A and B are shown apart, each in its own frame.
Chain A
Amino acid sequence: MKKALLRTLLASVAALFVADAVAADLRVGYSSDVTTLDPANHRSRVTEGVILNMYDALLARTDDMKVVPELAESWKQIDATTWEFTLRKGVKFHSGAEMTAEDVKYSFDRLVKDNAMGGQTSPRKSLLGPLKDTSVVNPTTVRFHLAEPWPILAAYLPFQQVVSKSFVEKVGTQGMATQADGTGPFKLVEWRRGDSVILERFDGYYGGSPDLPPVGKAGVDRVIFKVIPESASRVAALLAGEVDIVDELPVHAIKQVEANPRTKVLATNGTRSFFIPMNVTRPPFNDVRVRQAANVAVDRKLIIDRVLSGLATPLDGLLSPESYGFNASLPKLTLDVDRAKKLLAEAGHPNGIDVTLDVANAFKDVAEAVASQLTRAGIRTKVQLWEQTTLSQTWAKPESNNRDMVFQSWGDGALDPVGIFVPVLKGKDRGNYSGFANKEVDALLTAADTEVDVAKRSKMYQDAQAIVARESPLIFLWLPQDVYGASARLKNWRPSPRGVIKLHDARVD
């Protein structure tokens, strides 16, 4: 009797230390939890990344940023303000109901009509620009009516998913936050708040966009997005074999992950540029020579090689080389300490200057590296740490903040200058921390807004970049790659330049 008891006890203790059996589950170590499961009620890429696996959109994007049909079979522009979409037939929601034009109209009405979401307005409304109404032509055709011409509508449709009208009417906007009924490759099993989102394969899936092969059902039984906020722990989970993909792999962990036979590093070109706005509204950076000096005082290559493990592209301007309207003939920015010192002397600072570089906690390391290089060239830079949001607030008005420089980044998933060049460099725009305001640049940017000729529009942006390069309101730094860690058993998955993890094609051995 006693022996049996002892044996049970020992067995229990042993069980305590035996890991789970590995199933055909794909686990993602995710840096933060989603805020909601409602496709229309968030503005977060992290949240979108999970929702995309459950909800499909009218259009999708390929990895090289081409827009292709998804739930829509085809689309055409009727006139300057009317677009028509023909829907794919036989698409089913997870609940089994067939998707119709009514669902599409309902989804977009929720997005663009005021107070359409339980009295509130969707935070995604302005991502649809001047879209004002949607009408049903027949069960498989809908028309979008715009208030004014908006040539980039198609480019923004992959960001909006289609919901089921009957489901929303059943559960309400509150219910949509925690339940899901989409047309995507996975359906919701359970959202353990703060811990994980568990999805399983939807067997009634129509297969996805034919332009994004392979077409068919999802490759794994279950997908689990597991929240691990601390990056050291996320890397540990990958190395311990607990997860198959981790996002935001810290660059210093790359060596470890590559050295481990069971894990690998996956990277893709990012869309977030890093740069340092200099406050042009006050000395010393109101002098263009000082700003040019700063731009040749930074050894981008050394920092990229040593601190960023080589996983970034040095920038001579603000835009990614892959961006539409990129000017490839900007002067190359290379380290030239003598030239920096000469420029400083010409500007009346033969003994150098003392400035402060503001930075949020997360980028302390690189900011300190840049600061020490600037210091060597006579721009003696002190780094000051800030909490991220307070920092943004302080720099929203550079003309009155009495600060010198700030470490900033701006992300633009669409790779169009509208999403990055305009906010950062147009006078008084929302991301313009340098206080830079140039009449010529502003005129070019305003004209480009309404220019329909693709080549002409591109030329306008290129001209603007040339002016900005001359005026140097920013120290241009680099464009880091988005880095993911993955297990060796993960197959058929590549990181998307959009920065979301879509797992339709992924498989695990």
Chain B
Amino acid sequence: MSSVDAALPAARSQEESILSGNLRDFLANRMSVAAAVVCLAFCLIAIFAPLLAPQNPYETDLLRRLQPPAWMEGGERGFWLGCDALGRDVLSRMIYGTRVSIMIGVAVVLLATVIGTTLGLLAGYLRGPVDMVIARVCDILLGFPYLIFAIGLMAMMGPGLQNIILALCYKEWVLPCRVVRAETLAAREQDYVEAARALGASRWHIMRREILPNILSPVIVVATFRMAYIIIAEASLSFLGLGVQPPTASWGSLVADGRAFLLDAWWVSTFPGLAILALVLAINVASQGLRDAFDPRLSR
């Protein structure tokens, strides 16, 4: 098969130069870069959570129930953003929650992208009945109201991390699938694919080695901006009762559980809410920059 690779050096190097040019475009957009830095900061918080958290996020103390933030009357040093209904430190729970929320986002997007890209490639390259079946499956999933499915899943299998990821993945792969299918349809008519076919490459090889690398940038763009959506969706599921299992907390479950106290202990859900706002906004802005730089066609 190396003969096939050798036959197509031109396409490859051209692709690389486009990529580095796009990166330059992205870096030139200061707002997007700032947003990317914010995203990175949250990732670092997630990784170093045990070092950063001032308290044990699972340690309950009913005497500290709904204790206000440190700067307010009744607050306490060390419990900077106050305590929740069971006297646990809100800041520490948020720091650990960063891990859960980002983990859910990454896991869902990764899974959805892998599934969607595979099926999209198959549909776009093989066309015919395979394409039709995949298209109908997509229609069914999109037509089935998504929150109803999520609640049904929760009733069937109970709340918990895996089930949240499952519920979020369920139709998330449809979008990358459709993008990849469209790109593949266009790519399969391109010269380099024709050439590979003429050289006797297998279908699998063409899909994996020829088409896939060339359509990756729109897939990555889609993946990043769906990440923002997933983090919000996880919070919605928490509201409906499909949350993580205690004592773990995600940002979504912190906001959902704390909403009851918004009137008297606003800090319990406001800070996690602001954290979601900051990260999701940053992801949205950064992915916008990515889209503008990497894939002008997709930038709607």
Contact = CB atoms under 8 A, between A and B. Distances in A.
Question: Is A in direct contact with B (CB under 8 Å) within the complex?
Answer: yes
Interface in B219-268: 241, 243, 245-247, 257, 259-265
Contact of B62 (A236, A302, A361, A385): A302
B154 interface: yes
Contacts of B247: 368, 383
Interface residues of A, number: 27
Contact of B262 (A232, A364, A365): A232
A364 B155 CA distance: 16
B158 A303 contact: no
B260 A368 contact: no
A232 B246 contact: no
B259 A386 contact: no
A231 B260 contact: yes
Nearest to A391: B158
Contacts of A372: 60, 86
Contacts of B60: 368-369, 372
A253 B86 contact: no
A390 B257 contact: no
Contacts of B160: 385
A387 B260 contact: no
Q: Range of interface residues on chain B?
A: 20 to 34
Nearest to A369: B86
Contact of A369 (B62, B158, B265): B62
Contact of A239 (B63, B241, B259, B263): B263
Contacts of B241: 361, 387
Nearest to B269: A232
B264 A256 contact: yes
Given A302-B62, A307-B62, A385-B159, A252 B261 contact: yes
B90 interface: no
A13 to B, nearest CB: 29
A384 B245 contact: yes
Given A252-B260, A252-B261, A387-B155, A364 B62 contact: no
A372 B265 CA distance: 22
Contacts of A231: 260
B185 interface: no
Residue with the highest number of chain A CB atoms closer than 10 Å, among B63, B66, B245, B263: B263
Which 5 interchain pairs have the tightest Cβ spacing?
A306-B62, A372-B60, A361-B241, A387-B155, A383-B246
22 contacts: A239-B263, A250-B260, A252-B265, A253-B263, A253-B264, A256-B263, A302-B62, A307-B62, A361-B243, A368-B246, A369-B86, A372-B60, A372-B86, A383-B246, A383-B247, A384-B158, A384-B245, A385-B160, A386-B159, A387-B154, A387-B158, A390-B155
